[in-house]
Structure 1
C-alpha cells in the first residue's frame, strides 16, 4: 500500500526540518592505500589513550603532586616530632557493615559479552595533503549536517570498498583528526570509531 504524505502544517514543517538524503561520493582523484593495522598497533590502541596529553596531566596532577605533598608533610612531622596518627583517648571506631551487605548486590557476570571500546578499520593513506584535508573537511560537513559520519562514509569518500558493519560505526566529532605525514603519503589520523545509534 502506498504511503501518502501528510498535508497538515505540522507535517510540512517536519518535512522541511529533515536534512537532505545522505549522498557521499568519492572526492579523491589520486591513489589511496588502505592498510590493515598490525598486532602491535591494535594492542597499543587498546592500552594507550588517544590523547596522551591527558595521561601526562593525570599522572602529574593525580599521582605526582599528592605524593610530593605526602613526602613534605611526613618530613615536617618528623622534624617537629609529631606522629601522623594518634589514637590516644580516641573513642572506639564504628564498624560499617554497609559494604558487606552491598557486596551481595554485585554480581559477576562473567558470561556477559563485553562491548568493544572502538572499531578496527583500515588506515587510509593518501598521496596529497590537500586531498587528505578535503576528506576531513567533507567528513566534518557530514557530521554537521547529519550528526555523524560513518566508517562507510570515509571509505566512500576515498573510494575504498568496505563492508556492512562499517555503517554501524563512526564519529560524531572529528576535531582531533588530522592528516599526518608518513613514508607513503598522508595518513588520516582519526579518533576511535564508536557505535552509532
Structure 2
C-alpha cells in the first residue's frame, strides 16, 4: 500500500515593502534544497509599498499535482492586520497562524488553530533592519513547525537575495536566526518525522 502524500500549505500576507515575496522565495528555495517538492504563487497589488501582497506556498514529500491556489491551508504567516482576518480564517482546524504581533493587535483569533505571536517588526527594528521583519517571522515559523532546518534557510539566502541587496546578507541571516530563537521547536510539527 502506497503511503499518502503529505503536503503543507502556507498562506503569507502583508503589505508591499515587508518582504512577503522574498520570504516566500526563501522558504521555497530552502525546501527545494532540502529535497521537498514545492509549488509557489505570489501576488501583489498595483502599489510597490503599502498595498496588499500575498504568497501561497505548498510543500510536499512528493511531486505536487495541484496548482498553488488553495481555499484552505495548513498554516499562515500574517505580517499586517489589514489583511489578517481573511487569511487566518482560511487555516484548517489544528493548523498554525504565525502572526506579527507588532502590527497585528486584533484579538481573539479564530478557535481551533494554534497562534504563534511573534513581534517580528519589533525584533527586526532592534536589528536595525525593519524591512527584514518577514524573515524574522519565517525564522519563528521554521522553528515552530520544523518544516525545514535553519541551516537550509541560511544557505538559501544568497540564492534569493537580488544582487543589489547582497550587502544585506548578514543582517538578513541575523533576522532569520532571531526569529528562530524566539520560539520553541515543534510548536505544530509539519512532518511526521521532524527536520533537524
Q: TM-score, normalised by structure 2?
A: 0.25
The structure whose RCO (Cα within 8 Å, separation 6+) is larger is 1
> Rg bigger for which structure?
1
Q: TM-score, normalised by structure 1?
A: 0.25
**Hey, which of these two has a bigger chunk of helix by percent?**
1
